[in-house]
Amino acid sequence: MATRTPSAVTRAMTEVGESLATWRRLRELTMAEAADRAGVSVSTLQRLEHGRGGTVESLLRVTRALGALDQLTGALDPMSTDVGRLRAVEALPTRVRRRAPA
């Protein structure tokens, strides 16, 4: 059963795609050149730039080829947030499991 993509996710995909296209233009790369450097097909790059999805690996390959991988991974670093820094002193579990209702 397929679920509908939440609007916030659709909006983020569009924004990320636009950012990828901007990074590519800043680097003065054609789609073919950027795709070749990333090791993905031009159609994969087009899908990513148009916010129509792709794999995480493809996204990371493209951001690496465009010189933006560090920004992406840095943005996801939990220690760059207040919550992450506050929780850093706690011993975080290696797994999180919900107990089955009794």
pLDDT digits (tens, 9 = 90+) for 27-74: 999 999 999 999 999 999 999 999 998 999 999 999 999 999 999 999
3-class secondary structure, 43: helix
3-class secondary structure, 70: helix
**pLDDT(79) > 70:** yes
User: What is the value of pTM for the model shown?
Assistant: 0.81
Architecture field, domain 7-69: Orthogonal Bundle (1.10)
User: In the numeric block, which tokens belong to residue 10?
Assistant: 């659709």
CA separation for the pair 45, 31 (Å, rounded)? 7
